[in-house]
Amino acid sequence: MKKIMAVNAGSSSLKFQLLEMPEEKLVTSGIVERIGMKHSIFSIKVNGEKLEETLEIENHGIAVNILLNKLIDLKIIASFDEIAGVGHRVVHGGDRIAESIVLEQDEIDYLESIVDLAPLHLGPNLIGIKAFKEVLPHVKHVGVFDTAFHHTIPEEAFLYAVPYDWYTQYKVRKYGFHGTSHKYVSYRCAELLGKKPEDVNVIVAHIGNGASICAVKGGLSVDTTMGFTPLEGIPMGTRSGNIDPAIIEYMMNKKHKSAKEITNFLNKQSGYLGVSGISSDSRDLVAAAESGNHRAKLAIDVQAKRMADYIASYYVYMGGADAIVFTAGIGENAVPTRANVIERLAVLGAKIDHERNSKVRVEQLISADDSKIKVFVIPTNEEVMIARDTLSLL
């Protein structure tokens, strides 16, 4: 039995889970928020109870020290030596990293060299990795990459039809994200079908604030909706998903804004929020739609239509699919949104069972017995996947 720490470092936050492996038992979890700001918040769950403290935490290094010492104070571990390894969620592995790897100096140097592919996330990920390595220099640190699972996407699907040197010189291609979740969920789905991942085709809809769909053929990602960045694909909480790229220059001229400012609109003021004008949160939209708000319903429908389009296209691309799976915040909880999508797929023989679909946050078959394709909800668990990969590299 080994204790593995799964870490997800953002620009001002650090989420963690300590797991006992290989049992996959959660020991404790928590989050440090507002790092580098006034009144940072440290919270940790112990025996189901949440403890919260307001502290001044200037940087990620201090956050890591506080967190590890807290584990000792709370008698969750007796010494740092009990932590056998640390798995770091890393947003981007560029075109080189195709699987989880031990993070030595060479790997960190490589990640530094591709920071501009995902500056908002990769920079903070690296800060988290360095902070943990400094405090725990003797354990292995493993990088688990959001992009790695998508390395099996064939050239015809990852290449944009743009001048070829954009790809060769500037690395412009589809990378895809949420790979750890797509892998976990598609493997779990194979288990539920009583088959090996190699023997099934699964379409995973990871629909949270960020959202992407993945075609998983025989256990391998063969296409996904997010692309060079997490902006591509289906509309999300605040992101537009696909638009005609010519809109960018048109709106720059109309609004007298820079490309950066318009891209910011596409990332932060679009999707659910942009269309509804109400909220980026699916709970608010579901409630508003139910009380007759047209734009809230429209925001949900615009996303559901695009989801159904992609699911149908992946169904054709893979030559059929054994299952469609919903996961993440909206996929696990938004009952009417799931039904909305599946009802659009009737031509594939997909049929929802409304009674089964009424449950939230649980692993559940939600298709009818006479549905030609099984539809599941499978709660995602990226941390377990991170801990599994870390354990296998120790």
The residue ranges that bind ligand AMP (CB under 6 A) are 208-209, 237, 281-283, 286, 328-330, 333-334, 360
For strands 25-33 and 101-102, give the pairing. Answer: unpaired
Among residues 73, 146, 165, 244, the one annotated as catalytic is: 146
DSSP state of 209: S
Exposed/middle/buried for 337, CB within 10 Å: 0-12, 13-18, 19+? buried
Smallest distance from ligand AMP to CB 178, Å = 10
CB closer to ligand AMP out of 219 and 271: 271
Report the alpha-carbon distance of residue 48 to residue 28 in Å, rounded: 9
Residue 205 has what DSSP assignment? E
| Of residues 283 and 294, the one with the C-beta less far from ligand AMP | 283
Helix or strand or coil: residue 365? strand
CB of 331 vs ligand AMP, minimal distance in Å: 8
Using CA atoms, how far apart are residues 364 and 245, in angstroms rounded to an integer?
39
Strands 140-145 and 323-327, how do they pair?
A: unpaired
Task: Closer to ligand AMP by CB, 201 or 212: give it.
Answer: 212
Helix crossing, 382-393 with 179-192: angle to 10°?
Answer: 90
8 Å CB contact between 10 and 37: no
How near is the Cβ of 108 to ligand AMP at its closest, in Å? 28
**What is the smallest separation between the CB atom of 10 and ligand AMP, expressed in angstroms?**
13
Contacts of 31 (CB under 8 A, 6+ apart): 13, 14, 15, 16, 41, 42, 43
Q: Please say which residue, 95 or 281, places its beta carbon nearer to ligand AMP.
A: 281
What letter represents residue 136's amino acid?
Answer: L
196 or 283: whose CB is closer to ligand AMP? 283
Phi and psi of 297, rounded to 5°? -65, -40
Instruction: Kindly state the smallest distance separating residue 272's Cβ from ligand AMP, in Å.
Output: 7
146 labelled catalytic: yes
Active site residues: 146
